[in-house]
């Protein structure tokens, strides 16, 4: 870097402005600012890496991080960049496991460049003959979520009746395809006719319905599951969970992955039909992907051949440029996205 002067990199960032406890977050709760960052890791920073972020992942759990939580470390910090899952390229490193040019996925900042002091939350990308964007979804956190929730929590058997809510999202579209590959009967629900068509035509669900067009969710579930539901993959909560409980079969399993209908409520809706958990001997288990990251190599071993054989299909919704990130994130909570929502910052 000529003349003995070290260049600095301009670094656009999405800054979080204030905590939002209730209601839909707004774009104005975030803002784009430009700062600068050194192009090399400082010599004193041992085991650190400098990443150029390529793709950022928009995920529903980020809504809770916008609230002021009892665990402050989980909340976004006002005045600082948001952070979340992404895909990046190492441009400098003092860490023995990472070198310049390595590709990684994991927790990074919502900015063009991120200095990662403790890269324990990162996975090195070995397989690059699939789209790199897949590591924000299919091969990233949503993928391991679908895998762990379906196989480890639900313990499915061939021929069982499976229901997936928010079925066209990053996780739901995979759960349905896993269930079909196992020989289950699968129905999904989504919030638009376009998404319903995607479920049956592209992902191979046996049936699907638009929950916004159903006056009576209980009646809709009875229509699609006259013999009841063995496995419910729960992404929605609220009225949907209440309608599912009476329609579960004895010894049914519910994997509670998320409850997106409740994230904007300061006081969550109550669930009235919980007695069915007792009478039907149901197992309702919550889980988080982080607890299953040790299974990531096993997951890749299973899913990569399916992708390459065209047996697993994945739909992505790509927003272009860091400026589009706030709107893309908020769009998750109004169902604007079709498939996995991500933000493209750079292709190299």
Q: Render pLDDT for 200-212 as a digit per residue (tens, 0 to 9).
A: 999 999 999 999 9
Q: What are phi and psi of 76, to 5 degrees?
A: -65, 150
Longest Cα separation, the chain: 77
List helix spans (H) across 207-269. 217-224, 238-244
Superfamily of domain 141-290: NAD(P)-binding Rossmann-like Domain (3.40.50.720)
CB–CB of 273/284 below 8 Å?
no
Strands 83-93 and 9-16: unpaired
Q: Which residues pair with 177 in a beta bridge?
A: none
Residuewise pLDDT in 10s, the chain (348 residues): 444 445 899 999 999 999 998 889 999 999 999 999 999 998 888 999 999 999 999 999 999 899 988 877 789 999 999 999 999 999 999 999 999 999 999 999 999 999 999 888 899 999 999 999 999 999 999 999 999 999 999 999 999 999 999 999 999 999 999 999 999 999 999 999 999 999 999 999 999 999 999 999 999 999 999 999 999 999 888 899 999 999 999 999 999 998 877 777 777 788 899 999 999 999 999 999 999 999 999 999 999 999 999 999 999 999 999 999 999 999 998 888 888 999 999 987
Instruction: Give the angle 332-303-299 at the CA atoms, nearest 5°.
Output: 85
Q: What are phi and psi of 283, to 5 degrees?
A: -115, 115
Superfamily of domain 9-137+315-344: Medium-chain alcohol dehydrogenases, catalytic domain (3.90.180.10)
List helix spans (H) across 88-216. 141-147, 172-182, 193-201
Residues 196 and 193: their CA atoms lie apart, in Å, by: 5
CATH 3.90.180.10 residue ranges of the chain are 9-137+315-344
Residues 85 and 241: their CA atoms lie apart, in Å, by: 28
List helix spans (H) across the chain. 62-65, 141-147, 172-182, 193-201, 217-224, 238-244, 275-279, 296-308, 325-331
Q: How far is CA 223 from CA 208, 216, 218, 301, in A?
A: 11, 11, 9, 37
CATH 3.40.50.720 residue ranges of the chain are 141-290
CB–CB of 238/261 below 8 Å?
yes
């Amino acid at each position: 870097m000529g003349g003995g002067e070290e260049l600095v990199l301009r670094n656009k960032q999405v800054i979080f402005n204030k905590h939002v406890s209730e209601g839909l977050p707004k774009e104005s709760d975030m803002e784009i600012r430009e700062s600068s960052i050194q192009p090399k890791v400082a010599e004193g920073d041992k085991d650190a890496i400098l990443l150029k972020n390529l793709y950022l992942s928009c995920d529903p759990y980020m809504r809770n991080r916008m609230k002021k939580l009892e665990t402050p470390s989980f909340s976004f910090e006002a005045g600082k960049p948001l952070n979340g899952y992404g895909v990046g390229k190492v441009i400098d490193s003092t860490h023995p496991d990472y070198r310049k040019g390595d590709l990684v996925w994991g927790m990074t900042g919502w900015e063009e460049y991120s200095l990662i002091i403790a890269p324990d939350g990162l996975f090195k990308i070995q397989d690059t003959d699939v789209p790199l964007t897949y590591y924000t979804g299919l091969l990233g956190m949503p993928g391991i979520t679908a895998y762990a929730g379906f196989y480890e929590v639900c313990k499915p058997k061939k021929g069982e009746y499976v229901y997936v809510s928010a079925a066209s999202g990053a996780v739901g579209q995979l759960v349905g395809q896993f269930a079909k590959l196992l020989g289950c009967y699968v129905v999904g629900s989504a919030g638009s006719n376009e998404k319903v068509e995607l479920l049956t035509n592209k992902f191979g669900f046996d049936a699907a319905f638009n929950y916004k067009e159903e006056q009576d969710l209980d009646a809709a579930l009875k229509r699609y599951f006259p013999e009841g539901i063995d496995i419910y993959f729960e992404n929605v909560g609220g009225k949907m969970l209440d309608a599912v409980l009476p329609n579960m079969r004895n010894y049914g399993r519910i994997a509670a992955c998320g409850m997106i209908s409740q994230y904007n409520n300061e006081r969550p809706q109550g669930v009235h039909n919980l007695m069915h958990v007792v009478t039907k001997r149901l197992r309702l288990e919550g889980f988080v992907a982080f607890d299953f990251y040790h299974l990531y190599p096993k997951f890749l071993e299973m899913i990569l051949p399916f992708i390459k054989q065209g047996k697993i299909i994945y739909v992505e919704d790509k927003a272009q440029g860091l400026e589009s990130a706030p709107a893309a994130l908020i769009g998750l909570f109004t169902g604007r996205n079709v498939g996995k929502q991500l933000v493209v910052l750079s292709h190299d």
